[in-house]
Amino acid sequence: MLSRRIISACPSRGSRSVHVSASRSASEGLNRYSRTITQPKAQGASQAMLYATEGVDTIEDFDKAMVGVASVCLVPSVYLMVSVWARLEVETAAGGHWLDGMVVIPGCDKNMPGTLMALGRLNRPGLMVYGGTIRPGSCGGGADGRPKEVLDIVSAFQSYGRYLQEGQTEEAEKTRYETIRNACPGPGACGGMYTANTMASATEAMGMTLPGSSSFPAEYPEKWAECDSIGDVMKRLLEDNILPRQIMTRQSFENAMSVSDRVPFLADLKPSGKYVMEDINTIGGIPTDTLGKVMDRHVSWLTIRILRGNLAPGGAVSKITGKEGLKFTGKCRAFDDEESFVKAVEGGSIKKGEKTVVVLRYLGPKGGPAEGHVVPEAQVGGPIALVQDGDVIHIDAIANTLSMDVSDEELARRREKWTAPPLRPTQGTLLKYARAVTDASHGCVTDA
């Protein structure tokens, strides 16, 4: 873990640089990997290019450890692929540049696990700095008499459905525009306890961030102070050779999951409540100590469940927000891509009040390629590829089951008629990934 002895040994804020000035000589090993290019005289070209970088001025600087900073952005049009790219980018860049350590700065639930998987696979000293949550937005409260409304990114997601529901009138368009214009007042991840802040909180509980990282808003002084402290923390990780796999142990994963399974629900947070992550920071932040243990003053809202059943024999990840209850039964509406689903919403074929379970398939590790939530995925012929419109689906967050009222015999008949669609990527890294990747329950690894 990023233990107390590491934190207490680090001076308070200094430069925002993470260039580590090692007090030990090269032979003592802080530059365990970078020495491959910084020490041999035959690597003169590599060393010449390094002299052009900030912080490398003299030959003595080549005795220092080289630590990479990986900032990962989100590309909305390829949202589901970001986890794949984040892992590949960090792992490839850090390994290819012989970096001695890595500080990763993700800002989304998709790239957070990607960067953490890369750190674990490389297993060189490193930690995560969460990019931070966004401040809440607001609209209304003006002369037109419209009441003030606190907004976040989900308000923007819902604004289009609200616009359709209100008849696409001029007033509905005004409301829609004001919502999307004011929902995001600055930088940061989605403000409620959605997947980004949930993943960041779990990562802090595992011990892969400094205390408080998951709740400091992106624009707050606390986030800048956290960044200021990273260089000293990274130096200590290098000196003691503390590795990600020593931190991300089975115990630390179980500790992070215990927040969901064994800690009572105490906080009224979005999406099921009214407060956002900024409010959590105001009352003290995510209350984990540096050994990853939950303190007495804890609050919890992490309701992640792993569901299994004849619709997901290998497991499915579900986040229960509280709004939908702990059990739900509805009829299936299956779509082979997101665009078809959006058109169905626009066309009004998914009606308010009907108990419907929307199934989006061919979006798993091979089918997207993406990170996947249901195993086996549709691309390899999992039951999710065989479910049809009208099938009754049961979701039970108490029994942790995901099932459909379709007999094994009927599924077998459907499977005989099913043919796998061609992989979406036709060349490059994503095609190689889709061909080699394992399922989500086994980590979406490509070298199993």
Segment 299-314 mean pLDDT: 78
If one compares 136 and 3, the residue with the highest pLDDT of the two is 136
Q: Give the Cα separation of 148 and 182 in Å (integer).
A: 12
Token code pair at residue 223: 């986030």
Going from the C-alpha of 343 to that of each of 61, 157, 158, 350, 367, the distances in angstroms are 58, 15, 15, 10, 21
pLDDT band at 11 (very low <50, low <70, confident <90, very high): very low
| Selected residue with higher pLDDT from 10 and 356 | 356
Mind listing the pLDDT tens digit for each residue in 83-101?
666 777 788 888 888 999 9
Instruction: Tell me the pLDDT band of 52, cut-offs 50, 70 and 90.
Output: confident
Average pLDDT, the chain: 82
Cα 431 from Cα 301, distance rounded (Å)? 37
CB neighbour list of residue 426: distance below 8 Å, 6 or more residues apart = none
pLDDT for 371 equals 64
Predicted confidence at residue 265, as pLDDT, reads 59
Residue 108 confidence (pLDDT): 81
Q: How long is the chain? A: 448
Q: How far is CA 64 from CA 35, 57, 96, 98, 126, in A?
A: 9, 12, 18, 13, 16
pLDDT at 93: 84
CA proximity to 127, closest of 244, 34, 30: 244
Answer yes or no: is pLDDT of 280 > 50. yes
**Domains of the chain, each with CATH number or no CATH:** 4-20+65-133+189-282 (no CATH), 139-182 (no CATH), 304-442 (3.50.30.80)
Q: What confidence score (pLDDT) does residue 22 get?
A: 42
Question: Position of tokens 């995901």?
Answer: 402
- Angle at which helices 111-122 and 82-96 pack, to 10 degrees? 30
Residue 260 pLDDT class (50, 70, 90 cuts): low
pTM, whole model, 2 decimals?
0.70
Task: For residues 32-54, give the mean pLDDT.
Answer: 83
Asked which of 74-78, 162-166, 237-241, 318-322 is least confident by mean pLDDT, the reply is 74-78
